[in-house]
Amino acid sequence: MRLVNLGCLTLMLGPFIFGLAYFELGLLRSFSRELYSMSYPSVMGTVTTQGMETLSYAYEIDGRAYQGENYRYTVKNESDFKAWSGPEFRAGSPVRVHYRRGAPWESVVIPGVQGRTLLLLLGFTPVNLAIFWGLYLMLDSTRKSRLGVRAFERNGRVHVRLTDRTPVRVGFEGSLPAAILLAMIVGMVMGMDAPVTAVALAGAFAVAAGVGGSIWWQSRLDTGNYDLILDEQARSLSLPPMHGRTKRRELEWDAIRAVILDKQTRSNKGGSSEYYRCMLRLRGGSRAELVAEWKGDQDRAANLVNWLQARMGRDESTLLAPPAPAPAPKKKVRY
């Protein structure tokens, strides 16, 4: 079902995604040309035409004449028109032309990376990355490998991380909106032709925001507040301060009557959603304790239920969420 939903979503958003990707590739091509132009050799040429929207120049290399129209590699804009409308670019005036090695017919008057290109990259690249990141997360949710319980040992006890948010993911998801916001601020304050230094600093701040978010989240994970902790020697279990608990709750294994899989339907504006929850049913009539829950993911919750039952040494015949049986081997048909 998830693959079907992913396919439908991709088909609906396909033209939009393709358009953004095509625009992004154009920006990257412009950026690479501008970056490479910093190493172009130069020669003196002559302005041949000074128009309102056109600047043409002629130059000669190794006795061969060439004609060029590139003031900068970026799309011509009003600031370019103003730049070449001065007396220094009148027809017949000398102009320094930078040409590409091995392809002297490709030339530009103002080489180097331009602020406009960097600003567009800073604003649009995060949008494209966010779209592909969302598609990746949807595709990743269909992988069977993610169903496994992520357990690790620390100080002689077994920890199970109950959150899917990793430091890399938090940092990545934090840097994307930071980059878009900073690009908008720089564009509104300094214009589209902002200085390269200002745009580069904005990009550095966006990266710093992502790194800071990653470090902050790692420190949160190191506290263990997102871990279910099992002490197999003491036969005890510690629930994290989540799902309505303000502090950890310590439980003896003997106080747990059963580990159950619970299904809860919640209403929302768009209809209703199903949540599958790993619950601990306690002895003595106490309310059940929620360990973890997943929206629409019964297999993930069932795996945690079965894993807890196995670690606590419960009889597998009492499992309330038995794993799916292995497919029977296909019989060979003889003809």
If one compares 192 and 2, the residue with the highest pLDDT of the two is 192
Instruction: Find the radius of gyration of the CA atoms of the chain.
Output: 31
If one compares 298 and 328, the residue with the highest pLDDT of the two is 298
Residue 29, token pair as written in the block: 């091509």
pTM, two decimals, is 0.73
Contact 53, 71 (CB under 8 A): no
Residue type, 274: E
If one compares 309 and 135, the residue with the highest pLDDT of the two is 309
Return the pLDDT at 12. Answer: 61
Contacts of 12 (CB under 8 A, 6+ apart): none
Dihedral over Cα of 202, 207, 210, 215: its sign: negative
Return the pLDDT at 207. Answer: 94
What's the mean pLDDT in 223-249?
Answer: 92
Please provide the distance, in angstroms rounded to a whole number, between the alpha carbons at the two ends of the chain. Answer: 36
Separation between Cα atoms, residue 238 and residue 245, nearest integer Å: 12
If one compares 19 and 279, the residue with the highest pLDDT of the two is 279
Return the pLDDT at 132. Answer: 79
Distance of CA 133 to the CA centre of its chain: 4
- Identify the band that residue 149 occupies on the pLDDT scale cut at 50, 70 and 90: confident
The SS3 call for residue 299 is helix
- Identify the band that residue 158 occupies on the pLDDT scale cut at 50, 70 and 90: very high
Separation between Cα atoms, residue 34 and residue 26, nearest integer Å: 12
* Per-residue model confidence as pLDDT tens digits over 114-123: 888 889 888 8
Tell me which residue of 256, 250, 255, 246 sits closest to 230, measured CA to CA.
Answer: 250
What's the mean pLDDT in 243-250?
Answer: 91
Return the pLDDT at 317. Answer: 42
Contact 83, 74 (CB under 8 A): no
What's the mean pLDDT in 163-189?
Answer: 91
% pLDDT > 70, the chain? 84
Separation between Cα atoms, residue 280 and residue 259, nearest integer Å: 5
* Strand runs labelled E in the chain: 42-50, 55-61, 64-68, 94-100, 103-108, 151-154, 157-161, 227-231, 236-239, 249-252, 256-268, 271-282, 289-295
Q: Has residue 1 got a pLDDT over 70?
A: no
- Identify the band that residue 226 occupies on the pLDDT scale cut at 50, 70 and 90: very high
Q: Has residue 143 got a pLDDT over 50?
A: yes
- Identify the band that residue 229 occupies on the pLDDT scale cut at 50, 70 and 90: very high
* Per-residue model confidence as pLDDT tens digits over 34-89: 999 999 999 999 999 888 778 899 999 999 999 998 888 876 667 777 778 888 88
Return the pLDDT at 7. Answer: 52
What's the mean pLDDT in 276-297?
Answer: 86
Q: Point out which residues pair with 271 in neighbouring strands.
A: 268
Contact 176, 126 (CB under 8 A): yes
What's the mean pLDDT in 254-270?
Answer: 86
Separation between Cα atoms, residue 16 and residue 145, nearest integer Å: 31
If one compares 312 and 216, the residue with the highest pLDDT of the two is 216
Residue type, 313: G
